[in-house]
């Protein structure tokens, strides 16, 4: 079972460059989310989606864009990379069964991003 797959696993960018972090899930989950993990701060929500064509901002959305054209894919775009965006990025998905918030999230193994 693939679950949630994130690519690439590692990336180094220069300030001002743009890139897209890919996330795909094969569990037919309605909900998908992007988080960043920084030391001592836990995970912070960047953007989330409750279904294809629907996205919304989380706690730290600035500098990031998302789209959800299919149930399976939820890419995260960095528009103009900044050193403050150096972090580990996690994508997660969950079922909508039982209503919003009821089901646990399944996480990918992360993308480690360094901005020079």
Partner 1 sequence: AQSVAQPEDQVNVAEGNPLTVKCTYSVSGNPYLFWYVQYPNRGLQFLLKYITGDNLVKGSYGFEAEFNKSQTSFHLKKPSALVSDSALYFCAVRDHMRDMRFGAGTRLTVKP
What residue has token string 């094969």?
A: 26
Least Cβ distance, residue 39 to partner 1 (angstroms): 9
Helix boundaries (H) for 1-116: none
- Using the minimum distance from each CB to partner 1, give the nearer residue, 36 or 81: 36
- Using the minimum distance from each CB to partner 1, give the nearer residue, 56 or 80: 56
Least Cβ distance, residue 78 to partner 1 (angstroms): 20
Site residues, partner 1 (CB under 8 A): 4, 31, 33, 35, 40-45, 48, 50, 56, 58-59, 90, 92, 98-102, 104-110
- Using the minimum distance from each CB to partner 1, give the nearer residue, 13 or 32: 32
Q: How many Å apart are CA 98 and CA 85, to the nearest integer?
A: 35
- Using the minimum distance from each CB to partner 1, give the nearer residue, 83 or 100: 100
Query: For residues 89 and 35, is the Cβ–Cβ distance under 8 A?
Result: yes
Least Cβ distance, residue 106 to partner 1 (angstroms): 7
Q: How many Å apart are CA 3 and CA 65, to the nearest integer?
A: 23
Q: Which of 88, 94, 96 is nearest to 107 (CA)?
A: 94
């Amino acid at each position: 079972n693939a679950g949630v797959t994130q690519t690439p696993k590692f990336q180094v960018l220069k300030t001002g460059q743009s890139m897209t972090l890919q996330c795909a899930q094969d569990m037919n989950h309605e909900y998908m989310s992007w988080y960043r993990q920084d030391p001592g701060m836990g995970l912070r929500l960047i953007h989330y989606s409750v279904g294809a064509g629907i996205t919304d901002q989380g706690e730290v959305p600035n500098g990031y864009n998302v789209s959800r054209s299919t149930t399976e894919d939820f890419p995260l775009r960095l528009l103009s990379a900044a050193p403050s965006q150096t972090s580990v990025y996690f994508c997660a998905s969950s079922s909508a069964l039982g209503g919003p918030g009821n089901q646990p999230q399944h996480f990918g193994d992360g993308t480690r991003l360094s901005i020079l």
